[in-house]
Amino acid sequence: GNLSIILNYFFAGEIFELKAELNSDKKEKKKEAVKKVIASMTVGKDVSALFPDVVNCMQTDNLELKKLVYLYLMNYAKSQPDMAIMAVNTFVKDCEDPNPLIRALAVRTMGCIRVDKITEYLCEPLRKCLKDEDPYVRKTAAVCVAKLHDINAQLVEDQGFLDTLKDLISDSNPMVVANAVAALSEIAESHPNSNLLDLNPQTINKLLTALNECTEWGQIFILDCLANYTPRDDRESQSICERVTPRLSHANSAVVLSAVKVLMKFMEMLPKDLDYYGTLLKKLAPPLVTLLSAEPELQYVALRNINLIVQKRPEILKHEMKVFFVKYNDPIYVKLEKLDIMIRLASQANIAQVLAELKEYATEVDVDFVRKAVRAIGRCAIKVEQSAERCVSTLLDLIQTKVNYVVQEAIVVIKDIFRKYPNKYESVIATLCENLDSLDEPEARAAMIWIVGEYAERIDNADELLESFLEGFHDESTQVQLQLLTAIVKLFLKKPTETQELVQQVLSLATQDSDNPDLRDRGYIYWRLLSTDPVAAKEVVLAEKPLISEETDLIEPTLLDELICHIGSLASVYHKPPSAFVEGSRGVQHKRLPPRSGSPEGAHSGGAAIPEAVPAVIPSQGDLLGDLLNLDLGPPTTGVAPAPTSAMQMGAMDLLGGGLDSLVGGAALNCNCQTLGWYFLPHLQVWLLAMKAKGLEIAGTFSRRGGVIHMELSLTNKAMSVMTDFAIQFNRNSFGLAPAGPLQVLTPLSPNQTTEVSLPLSTVGPVMKMEPLNNLQVAVKNNIDVFYFSCLYPISILFVEDGKMERQVFLATWKDIPNENEAQFHIKDCHLNSDAASSKLQSSNIFTIAKRTVDNQDMLYQSIKLTNGIWVLAELRLQAGNSNYTVSGVLERERYRF
Amino acid sequence: MIHSLFLVSTAGHIFLEKHWKSVISRSVCDYLFEAQGKASAPENVPPVIATPHHYLISVYRDRIFFVAVIQTEVPPLFVIEFLHRVAETFQDYFGECSEASIKDNVVIVYELLEEMLDNGFPLATEANILKEMIKPPTILRSVVNTITGGSSNVGGTLPTGQLSNIPWRRTGVKYTNNEAYFDVVEEIDAILDKSGTVVFAEIQGVIDACVKLSGMPDLTLSFVNPRLLDDVSFHPCVRFKRWEAERVLSFIPPDGNFRLMSYHVNAQNLVAIPVYVKQNVSFFETGSSGRLDITVGPKQTMGKTIEDVVITVHMPKVVLNANLTTNQGTSTYDPVTKVLVWDIGKLNQQKVPNLKGSLSLQSGAPRPDENPTLNIDLRIQQLAISGLKVNRLNMFGEKYKPFKGVKYVTKAGKFQVRT
């Protein structure tokens, strides 16, 4: 209170004094006064009251005084717009000054005065300055266009400044070119589709020439701009690369990284057998290594980018492992990044060194780093099989240190090693059990419980161990509770006699005393399983688990390709596409790597960009069965492969119900279709109407040829301009259908042209039950937009070639399948005898296992196997001389668990 | 581009702000303070911080955070490089880069920042050009200023270099004594393990130049063994084509001090380790004590003397004190920062320096889990440890005969011995 009043009082006195000095007749006194004003301003004091007095000092031929006044103006014009108008005349006059320095200064300062009224007066001087004879003025004016655009975009467009700016790209002075590029790039960010930077071979050549002669900052702008260009062919690509490589030796690391971006992108187009391709790969390593000897902040950004580069082209840095070794006084953010890259580069050749380092790190001070180092040892074991044993023994050594968080981290990773190499390292369980009491983190407790449950048969006192956890059941985290529930059920299934009481206890804790719905549901499911069918329970709970994958935390390939195009940017630091986070960049276009000329592999990465439907890196493990198989241990530090059949099993009942008629009846015997051919091919259907897809019409159907499912597409361009850059992606679907390769369309697709494409499909994609079951949602992308449609595929394309069941098995299976799994229906007007029907069905992979004739009735017994391993058995009855068939289909039940 | 700059002291005091576009509230720095609160030391504050509406990109230099605020996608390295350039410019202008010197020269700082960035685009960042436009404060000038009523410290002429194809050099340079000196400075970065085996070693080399030559001299610097240099970064003045073709450095130099090139030697066989270190640092299970024994001696020195040897050890927190004796130099242990410094001085062949004694630990505390790392400093005059040698310096384009000189020095960079 009091103090601030006193301070204000003194400050008021100061203002008064300054006012007097500003109005002094003596030039020097004036200048010193302005300096004092600026000094007060910079420390945050409000000296805006002096506005008219300071502006009065503006008309001077003393450059320093002028500059100081300009500094002041820029700061306060916004809060005193009416006063700022007073300065306009001086600005306009200064823009005509014979001294280019003053002209430039005036136009530069005017652009910084963010007052609408002033911008109107700015246009004429700016137009003159953009065409000034002096390049220093032109380059300053170029930036001024960007400033003005930020304040009033419409004005800039109306006045034609954008075109003038585009012309400056061809300016004779490299600094002017660089500034024009910088200004256009900034403006383009708010106008993603404006084609402001329309790059063609001529402008590229201009830019490459300016690149050699402009300042380091200008080089960054130009390189970033070049990176947006897509060369016409591999020769152009190579020639640009050749002219960009000298930038790798620049002292400014931002120049180096921008050059790396251009090279990484353009080398995508070079044939891999080209000598130059190898040369370029070799040239990329040294500058990247050099970035790591710079200041830590630079190192951090470099490391985040190297992380991407190592994933895209591991060969570049595979021999440079040692530069990523951690120094004890590296900042923690550098240490963690280095560690990550070490794991990515780990291979059989260098694993010994890596392990020795990791062991060293595990004794460092910083807890986060130590934890990550221990985790890294586990990742090595999973990645390099030959090293697994050494990793396990290193982890055991670490457990012996008894350092609490090290022990816990080690146990979490050992669990993953068990998953990867079952029945190999179980001898260490005893050591692990010794540390049971010291575990206080949920993840470590859950891991330990999983281990005890999984190997219950080898741990004599497994029941005691698990029982000890049970005492504090309600205080445990959900993760631990779920794990404990499953582990005790496993134990019960393995040693039912001694553990009945324990399992009852845990089931009642989970179902009756818990408020957690997940826990309760799981408890009930186990309970019912155990009480109705212990054998089924065993199959569910003790089922074989899918293997965990080697590489973890890999960036999904389409995203990786996009990020490679954004090397050096914020996106590359955050490993997220730019659209995901930067507020200022409205509607960023997704960048893609150019396709490699002539090679399908290149086309793959080229076509791989439907960002809207980016599949998750690690499939979600939401389905119930996955849970029951214990795939939910903690966060996905180790990517768990999806259980491809699990979701299907949920849909099995559905297959029996609504699905069966389409399955057997509709598909194969419907004579309206072209079954006479050697494979079953329904007519093309229009899936996507041109009017709904900006001129792109898609018709298609499905086929099965040579054991491979194909999507037969017919693409028609009904728009006025050519279409390029086609790509396709599927949503998750019931049978995991996914493109087995890229969509190879002969592009460009000219207006009114139609092209036929056959896209091979695989069935290993992510699975999700669809309604109806054979519904497929598709996204197709071209240079114009992304389009979505859905279509239905005939189930028959899923019938595999080895679907012929052995007679004995068929008989036994048929009997085993309960009646409620049976469906029956009739097909009318099918004029085929049984043999013809049989051979026709066989062409669709519906196999005749046996034929019987009873009472003039031919009975055909058929078997079908679906791509996901499900069997369908059918009986066809046909009365001689009658064109009606009766089909009884049964769905084999044995294979699924519900 | 760069929107605003804040300079923040380690104590969290924002002592300077500069906005190149609209004004951004200081409160954006709260996100930095939050990150600083989480970090164990100011060095560990991450350089890129996301906030709901902005990104903060910062460097930490000389106990000051240089915090740039950006709003659109801007290459972070560009920002970081620029911030380092700002720090270097302050250092160059004021002799030191500190809160006090920046506050003392706040108007010049503002003029500099205004000249370095326009609308967030870098404008003039070369020291030569800046000095042409804004004169650095000198004691002499401030005396003259007070006596005569002051001359301007802003140049009134167009910075000529900014427009030519050689933006790093101003025209009309004139000296009575024309001289060109080159310092080849090499730093050894190395990690040795417990047994003294080299885990990793590389050399970071630079050639710093001080060139004071009249007119537009065109220089050519050649090496006896240029094949050593396969990983190089050059000052923009170096003609890359000639380097690629002939392995010589051909350039029109900036005026004054500049870094001509930096290089990197990481082929293990080329990196000689000049000293050996034998050490044993151990903590006993009981008795709250430990023992320390370090011996250092010269190894591969190519006949030169190793000077200014200093060994620094960051001890675990539980080490209360050290009772050590040495046969050379002095050792001090700071119980507050837990840093042991053993200043040895010169290494000679006759006597092998040794430091040993006991460490006392906080009683009752558990034995420390981590092993302290030894950090080694040293200096060898007249030797570039990689063996790099300058062959000759030729000058074209000017008639006079300059004085020329080359100096070599090897230092320890991040030279660490694990225990």
* Of the candidates B314, B282, B281, B288, the residue with the CA atom closest to the CA atom of residue B366: B288
DSSP string across A365-429: S-HHHHHHHHHHHHHHHHH-GGGHHHHHHHHHHHHHT--HHHHHHHHHHHHHHHHHSTTTSGGGH
Average pLDDT, chain B: 86
Size of interface A-B (CB pairs under 8 A): 238
Q: Angle at CA A322, nearest 5°, toward A317 and A323?
A: 75
| Cα–Cα distance for residue pair B345/B353, rounded to 1 Å | 10
CA B157 to chain A, closest CA, distance in angstroms equals 7
Amino acid A463: pLDDT: 86
Give me the residues paired with residue A399 across strands.
Answer: none
- B positions 241-280 inside 8 Å of A (CB): 241, 243-244, 259, 261-262, 264, 266
- The answer to whether residues B2 and B74 touch, using CB atoms and an 8 Å cutoff, is yes
Which ipTM was obtained for this model? 0.82
Alpha-helical regions (H) of A160-295: 161-168, 174-190, 201-213, 216-226, 234-244, 253-266, 275-291
Q: Please compute the mean of the pLDDT values over residues A852-880 and round it to a whole number.
A: 80
- Rg for chain A, CA atoms, rounded: 36
Contact A293 B202 (CB under 8 A): yes
CA distances from A826 to A89, A426, A606, A884, B275 (A): 94, 57, 49, 7, 93
Q: A25 in helix, strand or coil?
A: coil
Contact B121 A143 (CB under 8 A): yes
Dihedrals φ, ψ of B317, to 5°?
Answer: -55, -30
Q: With left for phi above 0 and alpha for psi between -120 and 50, is residue B306 left, alpha or beta?
A: beta
DSSP string across A470-537: HTTGGGS-HHHHHHHHHHHHHHHHHSTTT-HHHHHHHHHHHHHS---HHHHHHHHHHHHHHHH-HHHH
Contact A570 B55 (CB under 8 A): yes
Q: Which residues contact B38 (CB under 8 A, 6 or more apart)?
A: none
pLDDT at B166 over 50: yes
Closest CB to B266: pick one of A62, A189, A323: A323
- Any long-range contacts for A162-165 (C-beta under 8 Å, 24+ apart)? A162/A187, A162/A196, A164/A127, A164/A130, A164/A131, A165/A130
Does the CA dihedral B393-B399-B403-B409 come out positive or negative? negative
Contact A254 B78 (CB under 8 A): yes
Burial of A200 (0-12, 13-18, 19+ CB in 10 A): exposed
Q: Which residues contact B295 (CB under 8 A, 6 or more apart)?
A: B277, B278, B279, B352, B353, B354, B355
* Of the candidates A667, A625, A645, A561, the residue with the CA atom closest to the CA atom of residue A889: A667
Q: Which residues of B touch A581 (CB under 8 A)?
A: 50
| Cα–Cα distance for residue pair B207/B258, rounded to 1 Å | 9
Closest CB to B73: pick one of A175, A290, A585: A585
Contact B114 A574 (CB under 8 A): no
Nearest chain B residue (CA) to A68: B111
- The answer to whether residues A762 and A751 touch, using CB atoms and an 8 Å cutoff, is no
Q: Which residues contact A818 (CB under 8 A, 6 or more apart)?
A: A893
Report the residue count for chain B.
419
Closest CB to A136: pick one of B58, B158, B369: B158
Helix (H) or strand (E) holding A41: helix A27-42
Contact A297 B80 (CB under 8 A): yes
Q: Which residues of B touch A582 (CB under 8 A)?
A: 55, 72-73
Contact B75 A254 (CB under 8 A): yes
**Within chain A, what is the greatest distance between any pair of CA atoms?**
128
Question: B41-70: per-residue pLDDT in tens?
Answer: 899 999 999 988 899 999 999 999 999 999
Closest CB to A35: pick one of B73, B107, B233: B107
Question: B245-277: per-residue pLDDT in tens?
Answer: 899 999 999 888 889 999 988 776 678 889 999
| Cα–Cα distance for residue pair A69/A64, rounded to 1 Å | 9
pLDDT category of residue A31 using cuts at 50, 70 and 90: confident
| Cα–Cα distance for residue pair A157/A152, rounded to 1 Å | 9
CA A292 to chain centre: 26
Question: A216-236: per-residue pLDDT in tens?
Answer: 899 999 999 999 898 888 899
Q: Which residues of B touch A258 (CB under 8 A)?
A: 75
Question: A443-486: per-residue pLDDT in tens?
Answer: 999 999 999 888 888 888 888 888 888 888 888 888 999 999 99
Q: Which residues of B touch A323 (CB under 8 A)?
A: 200, 202, 266
Interface with A, mutate which of B36, B78, B114, B133 (most A CBs under 10 A): B78
Q: Which residue has the tokens 């069935």?
A: A763
CA B192 to chain centre: 23
Q: With left for phi above 0 and alpha for psi between -120 and 50, is residue A568 left, alpha or beta?
A: left
- The answer to whether residues A857 and A877 touch, using CB atoms and an 8 Å cutoff, is yes
Contact B233 A332 (CB under 8 A): no
* Of the candidates B175, B172, B214, B178, the residue with the CA atom closest to the CA atom of residue B401: B178
- The answer to whether residues A279 and A270 touch, using CB atoms and an 8 Å cutoff, is no
pLDDT category of residue B154 using cuts at 50, 70 and 90: low
Take residue A453 and report the two structure tokens written for it.
């449950």
pTM greater than the 0.80 cutoff: no
Question: A654-664: per-residue pLDDT in tens?
Answer: 333 333 334 34
Contact A568 B156 (CB under 8 A): no
Give me the residues paired with residue A178 across strands.
Answer: none
Take residue A705 and report the two structure tokens written for it.
């040829």
Interface with B, mutate which of A570, A572, A582 (most B CBs under 10 A): A570
Nearest chain A residue (CA) to B44: A331
B106 shares contact with chain A (CB less than 8 Å): yes
- The answer to whether residues B178 and B214 touch, using CB atoms and an 8 Å cutoff, is yes
- The answer to whether residues A449 and A480 touch, using CB atoms and an 8 Å cutoff, is yes
DSSP state at residue B267: -
Closest CB to B234: pick one of A112, A215, A250: A250
pLDDT category of residue A48 using cuts at 50, 70 and 90: confident
Contact A289 B231 (CB under 8 A): yes
| Cα–Cα distance for residue pair A139/A169, rounded to 1 Å | 11
- The answer to whether residues A199 and A240 touch, using CB atoms and an 8 Å cutoff, is no
Q: Which residues of B touch A401 (CB under 8 A)?
A: 369
Q: Which residues of B touch A253 (CB under 8 A)?
A: 77, 81
Take residue A603 and report the two structure tokens written for it.
């086309």
pLDDT at B31 over 50: yes
Q: Please compute the mean of the pLDDT values over residues B81-100 and round it to a whole number.
A: 92
Interface with A, mutate which of B59, B77, B337 (most A CBs under 10 A): B77
- The answer to whether residues A637 and A375 touch, using CB atoms and an 8 Å cutoff, is yes
Treating both helix axes as pointing N-terminal to C-terminal, what angle do A500-512 and A462-470 enclose, rounded to 10 degrees? 30
- B positions 60-99 inside 8 Å of A (CB): 60, 71-78, 80-82, 84
Contact B204 A583 (CB under 8 A): no
Amino acid A244: pLDDT: 94
CA B48 to chain A, closest CA, distance in angstroms equals 8
Q: Which residue has the tokens 């050494």?
A: A390
pLDDT category of residue B173 using cuts at 50, 70 and 90: confident
CA A63 to chain B, closest CA, distance in angstroms equals 6
Residue burial A628-646, b: 16+ Cβ < 10 Å; e: rest: bbbbbbbebbbbbebbbbb
Question: A612-640: per-residue pLDDT in tens?
Answer: 333 333 333 333 344 444 444 443 333 33
The three-state DSSP-derived secondary structure of A385-397 is HHHHHHHHHHHHH
| Cα–Cα distance for residue pair A359/A54, rounded to 1 Å | 66
- The answer to whether residues B240 and B234 touch, using CB atoms and an 8 Å cutoff, is yes
Helix (H) or strand (E) holding A84: helix A81-94
Nearest chain A residue (CA) to B57: A297
Amino acid A676: pLDDT: 32
Q: Please compute the mean of the pLDDT values over residues B121-150 and round it to a whole number.
A: 67
Contact A71 B47 (CB under 8 A): no
Q: Which residues contact A528 (CB under 8 A, 6 or more apart)?
A: none
Q: Please compute the mean of the pLDDT values over residues A54-70 and round it to a whole number.
A: 80
Amino acid A896: pLDDT: 33
Percentage above 70 pLDDT, chain B: 93
- B positions 113-132 inside 8 Å of A (CB): 114, 118-119, 121-122, 125
Contact B370 A364 (CB under 8 A): yes
DSSP string across A699-752: EEEEEEETTEEEEEEEEEE-SSS-B---EEEE--BTT--EESS-----S-B-TT
Q: Which residues of A touch B50 (CB under 8 A)?
A: 574, 581
Contact A101 B114 (CB under 8 A): no
Interface with A, mutate which of B118, B135, B314, B376 (most A CBs under 10 A): B118
Contact B371 A363 (CB under 8 A): yes
CA B328 to chain A, closest CA, distance in angstroms equals 27
Give me the residues paired with residue A876 across strands.
Answer: A860, A887
- The answer to whether residues A686 and A697 touch, using CB atoms and an 8 Å cutoff, is yes
Q: Which residues of B touch A363 (CB under 8 A)?
A: 369-371
Contact B76 A38 (CB under 8 A): no
pLDDT category of residue A641 using cuts at 50, 70 and 90: very low
Contact A323 B200 (CB under 8 A): yes
**Within chain B, what is the greatest distance between any pair of CA atoms?**
77
CA A92 to chain centre: 51
Question: B288-313: per-residue pLDDT in tens?
Answer: 888 999 999 988 778 889 999 999 99
Q: Which residues of A touch B47 (CB under 8 A)?
A: 296-297, 300-301, 333
Nearest chain B residue (CA) to A337: B46
Does the CA dihedral A321-A326-A331-A337 come out positive or negative? positive
